[in-house]
């Protein structure tokens, strides 16, 4: 590993852990496949949380109702 990668690592690890824990807990609470979302949240950021909000929680439907 290069010196720059070693500096970035302490920043990236907490971000991925926090995202994964949030996805796991929220998916379990809402009846979605919580293991899938938790593991995917550990792999990369920010795509898992965006996909979760769009496809699992269907956030756009909540915003459509407010416009009327």
Q: Which domain holds residue 32?
A: 14-67
Answer yes or no: is 28 within a domain: yes
Mean pLDDT of the 62-67 span: 66
Q: Looking only at Cα atoms, what is the longest distance across the chain?
A: 53
CA end-to-end span of the chain, whole Å? 53
Answer yes or no: is 41 within a domain: yes
Residue 68 has pLDDT above 60, yes or no: no
How many structural domains comprise the chain?
1
- In this prediction the pTM is 0.81
**Chain segment 7-53, per-residue pLDDT in tens:** 999 999 999 999 999 999 999 999 999 999 999 999 999 999 999 99
**Predicted pLDDT of residue 61:** 73
Answer yes or no: is 60 within a domain: yes
């Amino acid at each position: 590993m290069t010196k720059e990668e070693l500096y970035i690592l302490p920043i990236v690890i907490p971000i991925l852990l926090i995202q994964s824990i949030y996805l796991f807990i929220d998916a379990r609470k809402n009846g979605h496949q919580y293991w899938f979302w938790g593991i995917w949240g550990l792999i990369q950021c920010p795509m898992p949380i965006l996909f979760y909000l769009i496809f699992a929680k269907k956030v756009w439907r909540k915003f459509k109702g407010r416009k009327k």
